Structure 1
Amino acid sequence: MEQIRFFFQSNYTDFSEQDWLIISSKFIRQEFPKKTLILKKGEVEDYVSFIEEGIVRYFIPKENKEVTFELTFSNNFIGAYDSFITRLPSVYHIETITPVTLWRVSYHDVQMLFQSTARGNLIGRLASEKLFLEKARREISLLNDTAEQRYLSLFTEQPDLIKKIPLQYIASYIGITPQALSRIRRRIS
C-alpha cells in the first residue's frame, strides 16, 4: 500500500492521515499468474487497479492476430477506464504478461471515495488528466515517430522490457510486424 500512497503523493497531492486510512481500506490485494485475462472483451470493468509488481497488456482480438495497444508496468494504475466510467462492456482484453500483483478498488468504492474524502475528487480529476495526456502522447508518437524511434523510446523507458515481453507484443504495440521489429533490432545492435 505504501507504493500507492507514494504514487498519489508524488503525482497528485498529499492528503490527511484520515483520508489515507479511508482510501487504503478500500483496496484489496490480488495476485494473478502469467497469461491471465484480468478483463475479457464484453465484460464491464469493475476495478481500477494499481500494479505493485508485473506487466500487463491491453489487446484487441482479431481473426488472424491480436493488436496490443497498451503495455503497463509496475507502479502504475490499470483498468479499462472507458468501460469503468461508462459502465459499458469493454471492447478489449487486459492480460498479464508476467505474474502480477494488484491492489484493486471497486467502482462502488471509488464513487464513495470521491464523495467521502477531502481529496477524492481532486485525485480522480488529476488521474484522469494524466491518463488523457499519456494517451495523447502515444497517439502523437504513432503519427510522428518512426517505428525505430518508438522502439528505442519504449526500450529507454523500460530497459528490462526485452527480457519480459514477447517480441510479437512489442511489435504490435509499436505498430509493426515482428519481422520489421527484427530488422530494427539487427540494425541498432
Structure 2
Amino acid sequence: MEFVRNHIEGISKISDEDWDYFSSRLIERNFRKKSVFLQLGEIENYISFIKSGVVRFYMPKEFEEKEVTFSFSFKNQFVSAYDSFLTRKPSLYELEALSDTHMYSISYADLQDVYANTQFGNLIGRLTAERLFLLKSKREQSLLNETAEERYLKLFKNRQDFIKDIPLKYISSYIGVTPQALSRIRKRIN
C-alpha cells in the first residue's frame, strides 16, 4: 500500500497519523480481465487507485460494436465513475478491467470521514478533483484539436507498456474512428 502513499505525497505531504487514518479505510479489490465492476445504472461507491491493470470507461450499447469507449485508467492512476461518486446518482457508463486489475479503494462514506477527521483530507480531495478535471479538459481539447492519428500516437507514446492490453476496437472508439480507419493509421505509421 506504500505506493498509494508515495503517489499522494507527490501531490501533498501527509503526516503519519493522517496516513494511518486514511489507509485503515482502504480496501484491496481485484478484478479479473473482462470484469465489469461498475454497471450502467449503479451508483459508484468507490474511488480507487490502480496498483496494476488497465480499466476502460465505456457507454454500453445494444450491439457491442456500437459501444463508445471514452477513457482508460492505468497503473498509478485514480479510477472512479467520479460524477456518480460525487452526485450519488446512477452511472451513465460502465467500468471494465481490460486486464487482471489490482486496486485499493475507499468508499464514499469513508472518504467523507477522512475529510472530516484529518488535516490533509480536504486538501487531497480538492487536489484529486483538480487533477481529474484537468484530465477531462485535456481529453476534450484533444478531441477538438488533434487528428485521430495524433490521438493514437499520443496514447501509444504515453502508455506504450499498457497498449498491448487494450483491444484495437476500444482504441479506435477512444480516438473516434472505425477499426478500419485505425488499421489504415497504423499502416501509415509503420
Name the TM tier (shorter chain): over 0.9
- How far 1:102 sits from its partner (Å)? 1.0
State the one-letter code of the partner of 1:71: F
Structure-1 residue corresponding to 2:24: 25
State the one-letter code of the partner of 2:68: V
> After TM superposition, what 4+ stretches of structure 1 lie above 3 angstroms from structure 2?
none
Q: Residue deviations 1:127-176, cap 9 Å, x none?
A: 00111011000000000000000000000001123421100010111111
Q: Once the two structures are aligned, what percentage of the paired residues are identical?
A: 53
- Match of 1:150, SS state, is helix
Structure-2 residue corresponding to 1:101: 102
State the distance in 2 between where 1:119 and 1:160 align: 33
The 5 A counterparts of 1:139-150 are: 139-150=140-151
State the distance in 2 between where 1:101 and 1:55 align: 9
- How far 1:20 sits from its partner (Å)? 0.5
Change (3 A) 1:81 1:138: same
The alignment covers a number of residue pairs equal to 188
- Match of 2:13, SS state, is coil
Change (3 A) 1:31 1:77: same
Structure-1 residue corresponding to 2:8: 8
Structure-1 residue corresponding to 2:88: 87
State the one-letter code of the partner of 1:28: I
State the distance in 2 between where 1:148 and 1:4 align: 34
State the distance in 2 between where 1:49 and 1:183 align: 36
TM-score (norm 1): 0.98
RMSD: 0.8
State the one-letter code of the partner of 1:5: R
The 5 A counterparts of 1:51-66 are: 51-64=50-63, 65-66=66-67
TM-score (norm 2): 0.97
8 Å contact from structure 2 (residues 58, 68) kept in 1: yes
State the distance in 1 between where 2:6 and 2:149 align: 33
The 5 A counterparts of 1:146-161 are: 146-161=147-162
State the distance in 1 between where 2:125 and 2:162 align: 29
- Match of 2:47, SS state, is strand
